[in-house]
A and B are shown apart, each in its own frame.
Chain A
């Protein structure tokens, strides 16, 4: 089902990815794909392997086996630099910000703008950061203070600015709204839609089933390191997705007994 859209290959394909920690298969033979301008929600319980799978894509973790194809071409991603060179940007749940330096330094960390002699060009970096921020969060003004002093939403904006400035084609967002208040969550949701409209392919990892249903085109459910199923949003209900997350079975494999138990324990969600 990988190459079902149009003439070309999908933007990204991950084939038969395996990652083991010791003897435990954190990710076990997982295949997943992503198209331009598409949001794929990646859901599953704690330890289902979502984050580990995404780490193999962002270069933070090396897969033991499997292939990653970008635009149909097999690519080797062994460290974060490889991923960034392929315009794959990850916004980690922890945000991965150096708290003691300012927003421009964080946006450009590892990819600093320099003068001809190799000196850091802080002015140019601040200028570029101001331009990206004007799109992401126009209220952002603290460009020269350590990001430690910023609010959760502002820190999130810095992490996203990093991905946006470097023209991400594939963006991984790990729990982007987990640490945010309602207003900031709405802001991030708007942003995801905006990025999607610009043609960026987005993997959205989230515990929040509302987020996932609201934003995703397709939903992949993981359970104990495997993909249970990848479904189109229109084809399922939130309850069915919850059933897949908790039981690790496709909706048609779930007995009515199991379903009843689920509904008893969990109020139905829209």
Chain B
């Protein structure tokens, strides 16, 4: 996998064997920066666990934390491409709020009252989601057009978007909180019902394992096809064991989270299982929003690294003039990044509103800041051209873990913000230091 989009590209087939950790990194071609983020996340989790005497690292906490991080993580995958191509989108939080309100009004009022689509109407949730995605794409296209074709700086356009779209939310609902989503739509928010259950979780894990092995195999096959130097076999095996191990560990962990007693009893009735005296333990497995996030991360990574669109986004970020002179339609490329951001805002809004079973005036408030922070902590550079999608997702999880962990040990929300801000600066400073020392290539 030669991945030009990586912030810290692994030394390629020409890399010579080096001793120690660096040699290990070179042979396996693991993105060192990404690996460092995983390590940092693990350390944060362990530290909180030690402080809380082992009460932190429990499936129920981890699942809650993951679902909380999802909305921001979904947006961060798109923000990476926006920042990589030297723009910024400050309007995402407001757009999430607007679309969340559209979902709420659509399913609680417009559909049943105006369109005659009662709660028994088939696929209401699909229709609602399609409307939301269309609204997001439209807002993204309008902002993207003004930025790419008229030439107004993205900071200005999306700052305007931040203010006016948030204001528009009020007009949508006249300031009211709207509740009552479609019951299937609510599953997007996770929780006991919105989880895929134990069997499916193992199946997802199996699919993940198969994907890891397939990717490694096809990568090796591709190299052999052109006679490039192959990774040593031990490195391939190590990667496979590591990849599959992490996936199966996550699946096992998610299955350690059980349905709440009420739902478990319901489950028992449906399946004619007698409820044992201590209560039935039914694995909840992966929450649906996490499945959605995984799918989005895979698709976005594919777009960024395997498609022309992604290549153009990174090339433009690296050198706008070069991209233009290479004959790339740079304006259309920029427009597309904003349309994509709008679509992701719709998906993020779906998770956020599903969790609330409705929408308030300030769904998605300040999301733009968390999303930008996640992307930057995940290694995205404001200089353009550098950043990865898995990095941004990890960044979102690092930030969410910090705030969840801090609240767990009793730090209030202003205190969480203080820490989040400091971590943001620290992460970027560390990066800047590393890049200078590594001469930009490590």
Contacts and interface: CB of A to CB of B under 8 A. Distances in A.
A127 to B, nearest CB: 4
Contact of B321 (A96, A105, A142): A96
For the side of the interface on A, what is the size category? 35 or more
Closest 5 A-B residue pairs measured CB to CB? A144-B12, A100-B318, A98-B318, A110-B326, A100-B385
Contact of A124 (B226, B314, B317): B226
Interface of B: 2, 4-5, 9-14, 222-223, 225-226, 228, 305-308, 311-312, 314-319, 321-328, 385-386, 439-441
A81 to B, nearest CB: 4
B441 A149 contact: yes
B318 A99 contact: yes
20 contacts: A92-B325, A95-B322, A96-B321, A98-B319, A100-B4, A100-B315, A100-B319, A104-B2, A105-B311, A110-B326, A123-B2, A123-B223, A123-B226, A124-B226, A141-B14, A143-B12, A143-B14, A144-B9, A146-B9, A148-B441
A143 B13 contact: yes
B328 A109 contact: yes
B327 A84 contact: yes
Given A109-B315, A146-B441, A148-B441, A126 B9 contact: no
A119 interface: yes
Contact of B322 (A109, A119, A126, A143): A109
A217 interface: no
B301 to A, nearest CB: 13
A57 to B, nearest CB: 13
A80 B324 contact: yes
A56 to B, nearest CB: 14
Nearest to A162: B326
Contacts of B318: 98-101
A76 to B, nearest CB: 15
A122 interface: yes
B6 to A, nearest CB: 9
A28 to B, nearest CB: 24
Given A118-B307, A144-B14, A145-B12, 12 more contacts: A96-B325, A98-B385, A101-B5, A112-B311, A114-B308, A122-B4, A123-B223, A123-B226, A141-B14, A145-B11, A146-B4, A146-B9
B14 A60 contact: no
A80 B327 contact: yes
A96 B325 CA distance: 7
Interface in A124-149: 124, 126-127, 141-146, 148-149
Interface in A53-102: 58-60, 79-81, 84, 90, 92, 94-102
A214 B349 CA distance: 66
Contacts of B311: 101, 105, 109, 112, 120
Nearest to A94: B321
B222 A105 contact: no
A143 B4 CA distance: 11
A142 B16 CA distance: 11
A70 to B, nearest CB: 17
Nearest to B1: A122
A100 B2 contact: no
B28 to A, nearest CB: 14
B228 A110 contact: no
B9 A145 contact: yes
A99 B385 contact: yes
A118 B302 CA distance: 12
A79 B2 contact: no
A96 B322 contact: yes
Nearest to A146: B9
Contacts of B316: 98
B319 A97 contact: yes
B13 to A, nearest CB: 6
Contacts of B223: 123
Nearest to B381: A100
B307 A119 contact: yes
Most chain B CB atoms below 10 A, which of A98, A114, A126:
A98
Given A142-B14, A149-B440, A98 B322 contact: yes
Nearest to A110: B326
B118 to A, nearest CB: 41
A52 B222 CA distance: 43
A129 to B, nearest CB: 11
Contacts of B325: 58, 60, 80, 90, 92, 96
Most chain A CB atoms below 10 A, which of B312, B318, B441:
B318
A242 B14 CA distance: 47
Contacts of B305: 120
Most chain A CB atoms below 10 A, which of B312, B316, B322, B439:
B322
Contacts of B5: 101
Contacts of A59: 327
A96 B320 CA distance: 9
Contacts of A149: 439-441
Given A100-B386, A101-B315, A144-B2, A112 B322 contact: no
A126 B4 contact: no
A81 B327 contact: yes
B307 A105 contact: no
A149 B2 CA distance: 16
B14 to A, nearest CB: 5
A239 B222 CA distance: 57
B228 A102 contact: no
B228 A126 contact: yes
Contact of B4 (A105, A119, A141): A105
A110 B14 CA distance: 26
A37 B91 CA distance: 56
Contacts of A58: 325
